[in-house]
Structure 1
Amino acid sequence: MIAGNPHFIMPVADDIQLNKVILNAVRSEESDFNEEKAGEDEGLMTNFVKSDDLYYPEGGLKAYLVVFGAFLGLIPVFGAFNMTSVIETYIQDNQLKDQTATSIGWIFSMFSFLTCFTSIFSGFIFDNYGCKHLMIVGTALYFVSFFLLGECTKLWHFILCYSILNGFASGIMMSPLVSCSAHYFKRRRGHAISLATTGGSIGGVVLPLILRPFFNRNEYKWGIRVVSFVSLVLLVISTLLLKERFYANDKFKLSKMIDFRGLKEYNYLFCVLGVLTGEMSFNSALTFYGSYCNFVGLTINDTTIQITIMNSFSTVGRYVPGLVSDSLGRYNCAIFCLFALTMVQFVAWLPFGKYGLNAMYAISCLYGLTSGSIYSLLPVCVGQISDTKDFGKRYSTMYFVVSFGILISSPISGAIIGEKSYFNYQMYIVFCGILSAVSGVLYYLSRYASTKTWGWVVF
């Protein structure tokens, strides 16, 4: 996965960490890539990369159609994460205006929790049975849940439709949408997954823009319905395009779904904890970002624009680090982006957010630019220290752990905000900044555990 300078290529983490042949544990639908034939034709297949005793196309029409399918599917799936602030701000001022910020925060924290928690099952199913069944069921549930969201008027309505039903639907699709591209790319995996995950940022731009005119006219129900139909079309196309290459042969056991043994490896443990704190920071900040904008004097229309700007720059923040990470190192780029995000929160948002609209334009740009890597690079780092056949399982295990942090992050932020004083909002920003700083440190420790050096190395 890592390409260095012309005279030195950093071995991929699979080669560093695991001295075993995994081909017997994997069956491929593409018989052309069996080990015997690969040995005969290796000289003719210079466009393929061999790792884990498997060949990766590293490009081609079929590979990029899969990436495009993942991109389309992640527009609604990750887009639902990225527009939480828009929905939270609207329902806080309308349907749930009699509820506290902490109570409303539970809606979005439970949604994020179930999305991540469900991925332990979807990761196992994807590794062993492929992505079609997951995508079909997830698409149907996603559409129903979002359509019903337009009818919600009470707290328990939102918890049932958005937190539980949509969270479950997003969770069972997240593993195949993120993992499928890894079956076609090894050394260029950072680039491929970054391309796919930019769909989440595009969703965070397009979906709020769809909702904006409806919210301005207080036509919440129709806005949500339009988003549900747009999501349905995108997910159907995504389902048709996604196609995995490998199947594992594991039996259906809990021990096969959750790789707790992997947590004994320090590089994987620190990586998981780094994702945990990074996701807690981003989830907390995004949930109440719109509420903060309202507090410093922005209208609901201005707030929607801020979320759109943030997600627009997040597209760049996802793609560019992923693009350069294949040569500079995924861990290196992730660490840089996490510390840059921390600086934005402490140096820009904390002291200057109170100055209103113009300041928030700059802060939204910077926050989106530096936070995009949380979705694009952090999963790639897990893939760097995992066998391809175990990528879905280890990715799901990571988000199983992350789900419990996300569950409490929004309510904690809501409790910190409390009565919505300026001091409380400042402490909320500090809370988010500390979490992102800790995430950067943990990723640095994970890199050290993998490379055994504190200095510069392409990893």
Structure 2
Amino acid sequence: MSKNDESMTNPHRSNEPVIMRELDLHMSLSSDSLETEKSHLLPGDKNIFDPRATKNTISSLLGMTIVFGVLNSSGALEPLIFDALNNRSNNSNKRHKFLSHSNGYIFSARTNFSKQTVSSVNISWVFSVNLFFLLGAGIFAGCKVDRSGVKSLTYSSCALATISMFCFAKSGNKLANFIVLYGFFGVAQGVLMTCCFSGLSCWYSKNLATFSAAISLGGSIGGIVFPIFIRKSYAKFGYETTILIYGGIVAFLGIGCSLLCDDNFEERNLNTNKKDESFSDVCKIYFKDTINLKYFLSLKFIIISIGLSAAEIGTSIVATYLTSYCTKKGYSQQESYNFITIMNAFGLLGRFWGVIADRWLGKFQVIITCMMIAALSNFIFLLAFGKHTWAMYLFCAFYGSSISGFLSLCPTAVSSLCNDNDFGKRFSTMYLFAACTSIPLLEISGVIIGDQDSNIRYQQFWIFTSLILLLGSFCYLYLRISAVGLRWLKY
């Protein structure tokens, strides 16, 4: 029998050499990748309790409290700004009129006073500009971080955050002041976020997902504590004093973050010797590398940027308008703040998604799962059952635990597309893309909600936010399938 005949009668046998060669190649690549992984272990991977790595993890935790802890409290801050812009705060003889009912403090934002002069669409500019700079300002830090570390930028961003928050207390009742000052605070947040994630990648590689989730606890802790503080302080002291105390808290966190921050020049090839570079050389480097649009020639980078944008903006929109939605549904201000607190409390539990990603599932699979859970939570609990208290508590549980999972992992997923010394630039470029999409999406959200008096508009709003999160999950699903196919692998 000829070889061809034998192949036709026994096709499995004819494929054996090919299969064996592919298996040998796979084993060879796996061995090479394992040796490479071992050779690139960073201090936090060699010893999980390494003192310097632990110190920088705590520093990043404090920094992320300033970044995402304040962002997650946007829903608590929105009624204060509403009152300030409509001359309903910082007036002691009026403020005592707001204290009523057994459920505590009731904001004046919707009832009992003169006709509003500033709408939700106007106020949305305060948060959209802040979010734009939070997501986009890191582009100016990425090149600096890759060249000379994060320490100096951490100092300056913490100082800017403190100063801008103190000035925010003195905004008066002019919308432009709120937009500009909270925008400066967003610049500080954006630079600090790049420093925190880039700095962490200098100490961990194998355990990066776990410790990214750990530092992101700052967002959940801030989201629990800050709304409670804002509500109680505003009821007692008014807008200006509340924000001044808020600025003091930001200053305390910034000092701790700066003192504990350190660079890891020993393990990474950072360019610490720049004596031979002239001023013109430095300018050329920063002009060339600060905004590197060549990254967008890669389809994978475009897809991951869209996915990150959907994750960050979708959750920011929900955080901004959830309190107003609860008020519209008839919940008291106390209950609305309780929902925010519970949601962020479940966010603490959701940080364990990072451990699951490192140990079993992989970053991309966890991100896909969590984003789909968050989108379905919007569809099921808010869109259909928002008027029921039990549904709101279930929403807080599912949504809070899921968003903390993907928000802590999305920034580190870009490490799969770059090398060690390219992380900062790619990270900041990806967030610049997210920033450019944040303003139109936030403004569309404000237009959809309108004057906050229509239930149908809120229903349309939750459909809009759910579709944004679903788009993000499909982006990461595409990247996962393009990398490893439909096989069940840790990725």
The TM-score normalised by the length of structure 2 is 0.80
What is the deviation of 1:77? 1.7
Name 2:400's counterpart in structure 1.
368
Does 2:304 correspond to 1:262? Answer: no
Distance, in Å, in 1 between the alignment partners of 2:176 and 2:80 is: 17
Counterpart selection for 2:270 from 224, 244, 248: 248
Counterpart selection for 1:79 from 69, 74, 89: 69
Letter in 1 for 2:414: V
Letter in 1 for 2:233: F
Is contact 2:303–2:475 with CA below 8 Å preserved after alignment?
Answer: yes
Q: Which deviations, in whole Å up to 9, do the C-alpha atoms of 1:339-379 show, x marking residues without a partner?
A: 11111111112101123x44323322222111112420101
Does 2:327 correspond to 1:294? Answer: yes
Distance, in Å, in 2 between the alignment partners of 1:403 and 1:15 is: 35
Is contact 1:267–1:449 with CA below 8 Å preserved after alignment?
Answer: no
Does 2:45 correspond to 1:50? Answer: no
Name 1:359's counterpart in structure 2.
391
Name 2:217's counterpart in structure 1.
198
Name 2:13's counterpart in structure 1.
none
Name 1:129's counterpart in structure 2.
148
Counterpart selection for 1:408 from 440, 454, 457: 440
Name 1:339's counterpart in structure 2.
372
1:34-113 equivalences in 2 (<5 Å): 49-51=38-40, 55-58=42-45, 59=48, 60-96=50-86, 97-113=116-132
Is contact 1:74–1:196 with CA below 8 Å preserved after alignment?
Answer: yes
What is the deviation of 1:109? 0.6
Q: Which deviations, in whole Å up to 9, do the C-alpha atoms of 1:79-115 show, x marking residues without a partner?
A: 1211111111232245344211111111101001012
What is the deviation of 1:435? 0.6
Name 2:158's counterpart in structure 1.
139
What is the deviation of 1:8? 9.0
Name 1:177's counterpart in structure 2.
196
Name 2:342's counterpart in structure 1.
309
Is contact 1:102–1:410 with CA below 8 Å preserved after alignment?
Answer: no
4+ residue runs of structure 1 moved beyond 3 angstroms?
Answer: 7-12, 54-57, 246-251
What is the deviation of 1:426? 0.2
Distance, in Å, in 2 between the alignment partners of 1:254 and 1:458 is: 38
Q: Which deviations, in whole Å up to 9, do the C-alpha atoms of 1:390-421 show, x marking residues without a partner?
A: 11111101000000111222211110011330
What is the deviation of 1:66? 0.8
Is contact 2:85–2:118 with CA below 8 Å preserved after alignment?
Answer: no
Does 2:454 correspond to 1:434? Answer: no
Secondary structure (helix, strand or coil) at the match of 2:219 reads helix
How many residues align? The count is 417
- Distance change in 2, residues 1:293/1:218 (3 Å): farther
Q: Which deviations, in whole Å up to 9, do the C-alpha atoms of 1:7-55 show, x marking residues without a partner?
A: 999969x969xxxxxxxxxxxxxxxxxxxxxxxxx9xxxxx9423xx74
Distance, in Å, in 1 between the alignment partners of 2:324 and 2:139 is: 32
Distance, in Å, in 2 between the alignment partners of 1:101 and 1:93 is: 12
Secondary structure (helix, strand or coil) at the match of 2:488 reads coil
- Distance change in 2, residues 1:8/1:284 (3 Å): farther
Distance, in Å, in 2 between the alignment partners of 1:373 and 1:229 is: 29
Distance, in Å, in 2 between the alignment partners of 1:259 and 1:177 is: 21
Letter in 1 for 2:208: R
The TM-score normalised by the length of structure 1 is 0.85
Secondary structure (helix, strand or coil) at the match of 2:170 reads coil
Distance, in Å, in 2 between the alignment partners of 1:444 and 1:8 is: 26
What is the deviation of 1:186? 0.9
RMSD value, Cα? 2.5
- Distance change in 2, residues 1:308/1:296 (3 Å): same
Letter in 1 for 2:458: Y
Counterpart selection for 1:278 from 303, 311, 317: 311
Distance, in Å, in 2 between the alignment partners of 1:395 and 1:401 is: 10
- Distance change in 2, residues 1:232/1:169 (3 Å): same
Name 2:422's counterpart in structure 1.
390
Secondary structure (helix, strand or coil) at the match of 1:80 reads helix
Out of 290-299 and 431-440, give the one that drifted further: 290-299
- Distance change in 2, residues 1:15/1:253 (3 Å): farther
Is contact 2:128–2:438 with CA below 8 Å preserved after alignment?
Answer: yes
Counterpart selection for 1:154 from 174, 188, 192: 174
What is the deviation of 1:215? 2.1
Distance, in Å, in 1 between the alignment partners of 2:397 and 2:238 is: 29
What is the deviation of 1:73? 1.4
Is contact 2:145–2:424 with CA below 8 Å preserved after alignment?
Answer: yes
Letter in 1 for 2:178: F
